[in-house]
Structure 1
Amino acid sequence: MTIIERLQQYKDLEPHKIALVVDDEQYTYGELYDAILSSDINTISRTVELTLGKEAVKNKVLLIQNQSFIEQLVQWLSSLYKGDIPMVCHNEMDTDYIDELASVIKSDGVPLSADFGVLTSGTTGRPKPLWRSEKSWSEFFDIQNNIFHIKKDTKIFLHGSFSFTGVSNMVIAVLWSGGTVVTTSSMRPNRWIQLIEKYHVDHIYALPTKLRLLVRHCKSKLESINFIIGGSQVLDRQLMEQLEVICPNMEFILYYGASELNYITYFTGKEWLHREGTVGRPFPSVQIAEQNGIIYVTTKYHIEGIPDTYTVNDCGYIDSDGYLMFNGRQGDVINKGGYKISIPEMELYLQSLQGVSEVAVVTITDDIRGEDFVAYMVLEDTAELSKIIELIHHERPSVEWPKAILEIPMLPLTECSKVDKRKLKEWYNKE
């Protein structure tokens, strides 16, 4: 069954059930399906004509540039329905880059098996196009929904652009199950809390960067939350303990994945507390192996054009109980005059310090050592930066001291909910 056929089924069976809430604007399954059929996608998106030969069923890519969440979703689904290849552009992409992206797609072409395109997060460079078949998601939805406890009565809150693969996959997976998605365009955590309470949300999907924002602004308990689904990105014990206080009934389910490979491993908060550094065990039907410290993943639910066994050059090993222990991405290391410093390990250490709410380590060029790093920190109200610096100097060797520690009120985030380290580096270079 295709995604569109699944939505048509819900439109026929429960047309008045709420599928989506965007800033208090409610859309039923009937309304969503009708909008998919009536959307005139060709007039509001950038079209890239392809030369694929007579055997090709699809001959154009539609670059969706609308920044409205509901329009991104409807246009993406409408393109699937009409047999085109949709790709939602990140909101921060300028016209020049979209022109460049269109030129790359036209020049490089698209795999014949592709049904839609996704963009990498672009945290270390320009976002790159990747291509997927619809089956690479839809045939995995039941597997991931079972792990994440997503059912037809699920109400999930998430925040972010539909262009972020994690958001788009989760939204479609929830709609696949017949559940309800609640979201907002607002970056204010107080608004997130209002919607969670108003609609009795039972799931939250968010990366730790946004969970930290939620913790900082939440003054009451969110009793309705049963599950928090999050990426294992820079997870720390303090954050988990804070979330347990404001969401006393929740279970934490974390995952490790990649845009190229979908979900790879998962684990609960309790498992992480007993094995700090783990990213869990493989999802059903997924296999993992380690070779020379590099993680290899075997799965059929991957992007087009790569083999079933593939690596994104993440580093780690498998412990005696079958848990994958994660050491960061290959190259995620600062070479400070020959002394190697792991960026994930340094961020985890700095995040663990009393009074530190959020942190990001940014590599910079150093005339003497070649490379060095600075740390940007968001501190709790009562924390003093001077005392945190004093503690670092006491606990770490001088070669591991940041060249500078800069306090800021909030870390900048990309559309993909990841820390925008390119922007932080720009800020430092301008100082």
Structure 2
Amino acid sequence: MTIIERLQQYKELDPHKVALIVDDKKYTYDDLYDAVLSIDINHISRIVNVAKTRESVKNQVLLIQSQSFLEQLVYWLGALYRGYIPMVCHNEMDIDYIEKLSLVIASEGVPPLSDFGVLTSGTTGRPKPLWRKEESWREFFDIQNNIFRINEDTKVFLQGSFSFTGVSNMVIAVLWAGGTIVTTSSLRPTRWIELLERYKVDHIYALPTKLRLLVRHCKCKLPFINYIIAGSQVLDRHLMEQLQQICPNMEFILYYGASELNYITYCTGKEWLDREGTVGRPFPSVKITEADDVIYVTTKYHIEGISDTYTVNDCGYIDKDGYLMFSGRQGDVINKGGYKISIPEMELYLQSLQGVSEVAVITINDDIRGEDFVAYMVLEDNTELSKIIEIIHHERPSVEWPKAVLEIPMLPLTECSKVDKRKLKEWYNKG
């Protein structure tokens, strides 16, 4: 059964069931399916021909340009329904970049069995197009939904653009299960909390950066939250404890994945607390191995054009119980005059210091050592930066001291909720 056929089935079986809530606007499965059938492809899209014959719709990529979550979702589904190959552009992309992307797609072409395209988050450079068959997602939905406890009664809150793989995959997986998505375009955590309370949401899907914002602004208990699903950014014990206080009935589920490979490993909050630094054990049908500290993943649920065993050059090792201990991307290291400092490990240490709410480490050039690093911090109320620096100098060798520790009110985030380190570097260089 295809994704579109699944939606049609829900429309026929339970047309009045709410599929999507965007702020205070509700859309039933009936509304959503009808919207998919009635879209005007040319309204907010750009068609890129990727084959010599223009007669075949299947050889046309549909670049969807909209900042509306609803339009992104409906146009993506509508393009699938009509046989186009949809790809949602990131909101930050300007006309010039979309033009260049079109030329790249037209010249490089698309693998023959592709059903849709996804864009990388672009945290290490320009976003690049990746191509997928529909079954690389839909055949994994039942597996991931079972792990994440998602079913027809589920209400998941998430915030972000449909253009990011984590968001789009979760949205379609919830619709596949017949559940309900709750979202907003607002970046205000107080607005998120309003929606959580109003609709008694039982799942939150968010990266730790957004969970920290939620914790900072939430002044009440959220006992109806049963699960928090989070990607494997820097976690710390204090954040887990704060989330447990706010959501006393929740189970925390951490996952590790990649746009190229889908979900790879997962663990519960308790498992993470027992093995800080782990990203869990493999999802069913996924295998992981490690060679020279590089992680290799074997899965059939990957993008087109790569082998079943593949690496995205993430580093780590597998412990005796089969848990993957993650240490970051290859090259995510500061070479300070020959002394190697792992950025993820340093961020984890700094995040663990009492009074530190959020932290990000950036690499800078150094005339003497070649490389050094700067730490940006968001501190909790009444915490003095001088005391934090004093602790670092007391607990770490001098070669691991940051060149500077800078306090800011909030870390800048990219559209996909990761810390915008390029912006931090710009701030530092201007300063």
> Which TM-score bucket, shorter chain as reference?
over 0.9
CA distance in 2, matches of 1:296, 1:187: 36
Kindly report the root-mean-square deviation, in angstroms, between the aligned alpha carbons of the 2 structures.
Answer: 1.1
Q: Which residue of 2 aligns with 1:42?
A: 42
Q: CA deviation at 1:46?
A: 1.5
1:263 has 2:258 as partner? no
Q: Which residue of 1 aligns with 2:252?
A: 252
Q: CA deviation at 1:60?
A: 0.9
Q: Which residue of 2 aligns with 1:237?
A: 237
CA distance in 2, matches of 1:173, 1:52: 34
Q: Which residue of 1 aligns with 2:110?
A: 110
Q: Which residue of 2 aligns with 1:144?
A: 144
Q: Which residue of 2 aligns with 1:324?
A: 324
Cα-to-partner distance string for 1:147-171 (whole Å, 9 max, x where unaligned)? 0000000001000000111000000
CA distance in 2, matches of 1:153, 1:379: 38
Tell me the secondary structure at the aligned position of residue 170 of structure 2: helix
Tell me the secondary structure at the aligned position of residue 113 of structure 2: coil
- Which stretches in structure 1 are left out of the alignment for 5+ residues? none
Cα-to-partner distance string for 1:26-56 (whole Å, 9 max, x where unaligned)? 0000000000000112232111111156997
Tell me the secondary structure at the aligned position of residue 42 of structure 1: coil
Q: Write the letter of the residue equivalent to 1:237.
A: R
Q: Write the letter of the residue equivalent to 1:370.
A: G
CA distance in 2, matches of 1:232, 1:107: 35
Q: Which residue of 2 aligns with 1:209?
A: 209
CA distance in 2, matches of 1:339, 1:359: 22
CA contact (8 A) 1:203 1:227 kept: yes
Tell me the secondary structure at the aligned position of residue 194 of structure 2: helix
1:198 has 2:165 as partner? no
Q: How does the TM-score come out when normalised to structure 2? A: 0.99
CA distance in 1, matches of 2:322, 2:307: 24
Pick closer, same or farther for the CA change 1:105–1:54 going to 2, 3 Å: closer
Q: Which residue of 1 aligns with 2:307?
A: 307
CA contact (8 A) 1:56 1:112 kept: no
Q: Write the letter of the residue equivalent to 1:77.
A: L
CA distance in 2, matches of 1:88, 1:327: 31
Cα-to-partner distance string for 1:338-387 (whole Å, 9 max, x where unaligned)? 11000000000000011100000011111111111111111111111111
1:65 has 2:62 as partner? no
CA contact (8 A) 1:115 1:133 kept: yes
Tell me the secondary structure at the aligned position of residue 130 of structure 1: strand
Q: Which residue of 1 aligns with 2:277?
A: 277
Q: Report 1:326-345 matches (<5 A).
A: 326-345=326-345
CA distance in 1, matches of 2:216, 2:430: 29
1:125 has 2:125 as partner? yes
Q: Which residue of 2 aligns with 1:401?
A: 401
CA distance in 2, matches of 1:184, 1:75: 18
CA distance in 1, matches of 2:128, 2:365: 25
Q: CA deviation at 1:182?
A: 0.2
CA contact (8 A) 1:318 1:324 kept: yes
Q: Report 1:367-386 matches (<5 A).
A: 367-386=367-386
**Residues matched between the structures, number:** 431
Q: Write the letter of the residue equivalent to 1:76.
A: W
Cα-to-partner distance string for 1:262-314 (whole Å, 9 max, x where unaligned)? 00000000001111111101000001111111111000000000000000111
CA distance in 2, matches of 1:43, 1:66: 10
CA distance in 1, matches of 2:41, 2:24: 25
CA distance in 1, matches of 2:360, 2:410: 11
Q: Which residue of 1 aligns with 2:32?
A: 32
Pick closer, same or farther for the CA change 1:62–1:379 going to 2, 3 Å: same
CA distance in 2, matches of 1:326, 1:53: 46
CA distance in 1, matches of 2:118, 2:405: 35
Deviates more, 1:43-52 or 1:20-29: 43-52
Q: Which residue of 1 aligns with 2:173?
A: 173
Q: Write the letter of the residue equivalent to 1:234.
A: V
Identity %: 82
Q: CA deviation at 1:407?
A: 0.9
Runs of 4+ in 1 over 3 A off after TM superposition: 52-57
CA contact (8 A) 1:385 1:407 kept: yes
CA distance in 2, matches of 1:306, 1:55: 29
Q: Which residue of 2 aligns with 1:298?
A: 298
CA contact (8 A) 1:335 1:370 kept: yes
Q: Write the letter of the residue equivalent to 2:65.
A: Q
CA distance in 2, matches of 1:55, 1:311: 37
CA distance in 2, matches of 1:383, 1:124: 32
CA distance in 2, matches of 1:52, 1:346: 52
Q: Which residue of 1 aligns with 2:96?
A: 96
Q: Write the letter of the residue equivalent to 1:392.
A: I
Q: Which residue of 1 aligns with 2:391?
A: 391
Q: Write the letter of the residue equivalent to 2:226.
A: N
Tell me the secondary structure at the aligned position of residue 305 of structure 2: coil
Tell me the secondary structure at the aligned position of residue 375 of structure 2: strand
Tell me the secondary structure at the aligned position of residue 76 of structure 1: helix
CA distance in 1, matches of 2:116, 2:61: 8
